Structure 1
Amino acid sequence: MPHADIRPTSHPHPHPDLHGHGLRLRPWDPDSEADAAIWFRGRSDPEFRRWNTPLSIGSDPDSALESLRDTARSTREGTSVSYCVTDASTGTPFGHIGVNVIDWVMRSARVGYWVLPEARGRRVATHALSLVTRWALAEPGLGLYRLELGHAVGHESSCRIAERCGFRYEGTLRGAMWEAGRQDAYRDVHLHARLASDPDPAPHQD
């Protein structure tokens, strides 16, 4: 199987921390109550809920911790890689970014992220996506060929982030995600993607 050598085996998070733009992307700690609190706060934030409807939010610290452990399990199984985005100097958490639904045969995956309210407006998502993209499409790294980024139509900030990081707009997927707060109604998604063979985007300013 292509790139089977980077599939996780025994270490709970076999991938490196990523550094740049004043950020450190570190693994989430699946046994940390503090990380679980950050995870719950980010995914229950009204702005997150406006644009996303995850299968499960969790309504208390215990369920948030279990959700975080599920995320860590996916990393161990090789189907995703998830990072807590933090300030490189202080370690203050800013949000999350993940490489999800990894297909090792096609060398493709989807990226997703969220930023805590107090960290918005500082290009945290742009810089984190830039770091993850460079690593995921590189050797050494995940060695993927294609990364997809999808967001609900109307989420203009995600469009701008995708474009800054070299993710080209490829089209609209009809009814490809749930409406906010519902699992019985659907909305359209803008699909962006970047290939390992695409040229690097122009540097963005801090």
Structure 2
Amino acid sequence: MEPVILRTERLELSLPVEADVDAIYAACQDPGIQRYTPVPFPYERTHADGFVRQIPKDWEAGQNLTWGIHEAGALVGTIGVYRVDGMGNGELGYWVAPEARGGGRLVEAAHAVIDWAFSPDGLGLTRMEWRAVVGNVASARAASRLGFRYEGLLRQALANTKHRDDGWIAALLVTDDRMPQPWPVLED
């Protein structure tokens, strides 16, 4: 699959490139990103280099599709559709650098990715999942604003190099209205 560039009013979603390595490395020093995402720990600059080199290969395979979230040319996060199975399913995943959090960038980027992933001209997905470590309230709030429906708890299902955790799972179907959803695990 060829990489796709997506644009919103203020963001460009495109493959991270070598010039983004320093920004990726810096963002992945954040304790929240290290705690709640599957990045290696400790996160070294070589990990960022390898990540950027792997992304075009993943696009070619069509299973893990990552974009860099760029604002005014600077990388402020990453977002992707992962575990694309060829049967209409995928999983939304993301992180945003600490200095870029707030201001709706993530939700703006996610709308563009979801629109493309559900489109027949994109992936043509039927179902998109979202998963997060229990306690990652910021990610859960974003997913609920995007219209994901909370589906439950995955016991000890999420693991990274440092932790094995219970996870929240939610999903969005192509037929869902994408209106913000109340979740029983969030205090609204």
Return the TM-score normalized by structure 2. Answer: 0.87
Q: How far 1:189 moved relative to its partner?
A: 0.4
**Partner Cα distance (1:37, 1:114) in 2:** 16
Asked if the contact 1:28/1:72 (under 8 Å) is kept, the reply is no
**Partner Cα distance (2:41, 2:64) in 1:** 17
SS of alignment partner, residue 83 of structure 2: strand
String of CA shifts for 1:145-173, please: whole Å, max 9, x gaps. 11111001111111110111111101100
SS of alignment partner, residue 102 of structure 1: coil
Q: Relative to structure 1, is the Cα distance of residues 55 and 116 closer, same or farther in structure 2, using a 3 angstrom cutoff?
A: closer
Partner of 2:7: 19
Q: How far 1:71 moved relative to its partner?
A: 2.5
Partner of 1:100: 82
Partner of 1:86: 70
- 1:43 matched to 2:24? The reply is no
Superposition map of 1:61-72 within 5 A: 62-72=46-56
Partner of 2:165: 187
Asked if the contact 2:40/2:47 (under 8 Å) is kept, the reply is no
Structure 1 unaligned segments of length 5 or more: list them.
1-7, 9-13
Structure 2 unaligned segments of length 5 or more: list them.
181-188
Asked if the contact 2:133/2:158 (under 8 Å) is kept, the reply is yes
Bigger radius of gyration among the two:
1
Aligned match of 1:144 in 102, 114, 125? 125
Q: Percent identity?
A: 31
**Partner Cα distance (2:94, 2:8) in 1:** 17
Return the TM-score normalized by structure 1. Answer: 0.80
Q: Give me the CA root mean square deviation.
A: 1.9
Q: How far 1:100 moved relative to its partner?
A: 0.8
